[in-house]
Structure 1
Amino acid sequence: MDGTDGADGVRDGMDDDLDAGLLEEELRQAAAALDPLPPALLQIAVDAYVLHRLDAEVAELTFDSLVDAVPVRGTGDPPRMLTFSAGEVTVDVEVTAHGLMGQLMPPQPARIEVLGGPRPGSSLTADDMGRFTAAPPSGPFALRLRTAGDVIETEWLRT
């Protein structure tokens, strides 16, 4: 096969994508074998990541309906219910295909970021009753809440 598509000599785009994917994988394997990541550098990276969260209190996942709830017969796609606790603050979150809905207890206003990877998270505001909504996360996510005096970050979860 010469990689052309017909008499005009135009390359097939699918072959290009496949070739690029194979080349990338071969380069990753070669780099891992010839120039592996030093363990000390990996530890420095992990330590640096931990340091960026020093100002945040980690909210513990205390309830997850995927694990803790009794299945109910007849429900097609029930929402996932999550409860996080950090000190006196509790965050209840409902995750559906349509989005996130949540509430802070005790009710209070807060700025909330929905974290979803290396890019800055989407920012939203909880009202005076502590309620907030957001678009559905497309992958693993965490929440960072900034209340009057605290910064709270939830554990990372897969949707």
Structure 2
Amino acid sequence: MDDETFPDGGFPEDGADGAEFETDVLEEELRRAAGILDPVPPALRQLAVEAYALHDLDARLAELTFDSLVDAIPVRGATDVSRMLTFHTGDVTVDVEVSSQGLIGQVLPPQPAGIEVLVGPHTGTALVADAMGRFSSDVTPAGPFALRLRTGGEVVVTEWLRA
């Protein structure tokens, strides 16, 4: 191609000379080359994951106001007892039952919400609360977990607990 420029001093637009420029293919090739020639150090990758965990820093924290392990009277001889949890912040309450079959819960006042079960720095299971605020998962969180709720324009994160 000649040193062709346009009156505004720019260069021809992609495809102006009849050739399509595949940016997606080029981006993928550059990503592969960078991964081989200059990989991200594991410590830097961990810092990036930890920094991303703070992206909801302005989220409201829902405090644990009831935990059946602490606040309820134990039943003699009961095995595989579900754990009942209640979180509260402002005008939002979240009731959760954690059992070996998974978890079920409800957002109060009843409203639809997107819910993420957080396990460590990674998002675990994505759930959706229906119009009545009800949600469920067949997966029981392993280890420390928290819930991140997105209701309207508001983000609420529960305290972290061990399942």
With normalisation by structure 2, the TM-score equals 0.65
Corresponding residue number in structure 2 for 1:137:
141
The gaps in structure 1 that reach 5 residues or longer are: 1-43
Corresponding residue number in structure 1 for 2:125:
122
Does 2:68 match 1:65? yes
Q: Which has the higher helix share?
A: 1
Deviation at 1:48, TM superposition (A): 5.1
Corresponding residue number in structure 2 for 1:8:
none
**1:146 alignment partner, SS class:** strand
Matches within 5 A, 1:8-47: none
- Computing the radius of gyration from Cα coordinates, the structure with the larger value is 2
- Equivalent pairs counted in the alignment come to 115
Find the aligned partners of 1:50 and 1:57 in 2 and give their Cα distance.
14
2:56 to 53, 57, 72: 53
Find the aligned partners of 1:139 and 1:100 in 2 and give their Cα distance.
14
**2:106 alignment partner, SS class:** strand
Deviation at 1:125, TM superposition (A): 0.4
Find the aligned partners of 1:112 and 1:149 in 2 and give their Cα distance.
13
**1:76 alignment partner, SS class:** coil
Find the aligned partners of 1:49 and 1:67 in 2 and give their Cα distance.
32
Corresponding residue number in structure 2 for 1:41:
none
Q: 1:75 to 1:60 in 2, by over 3 A?
A: same
Corresponding residue number in structure 2 for 1:95:
98
1:75 to 74, 78, 89: 78
Q: Over the residues paired in the alignment, what is the CA RMSD in angstroms?
A: 2.0
Find the aligned partners of 1:50 and 1:124 in 2 and give their Cα distance.
19
Percent identity over the alignment is 67
**1:108 alignment partner, SS class:** coil
**1:75 alignment partner, SS class:** coil
Contact map agreement 2:111 2:129 (CA 8 A) in 1: yes
> Aligned partner of 1:77: which letter?
D
**1:66 alignment partner, SS class:** helix
Deviation at 1:50, TM superposition (A): 8.0
With normalisation by structure 1, the TM-score equals 0.66
Corresponding residue number in structure 2 for 1:110:
113
Deviation at 1:150, TM superposition (A): 1.1
Q: 1:50 to 1:138 in 2, by over 3 A?
A: closer
**2:144 alignment partner, SS class:** coil
**2:162 alignment partner, SS class:** coil
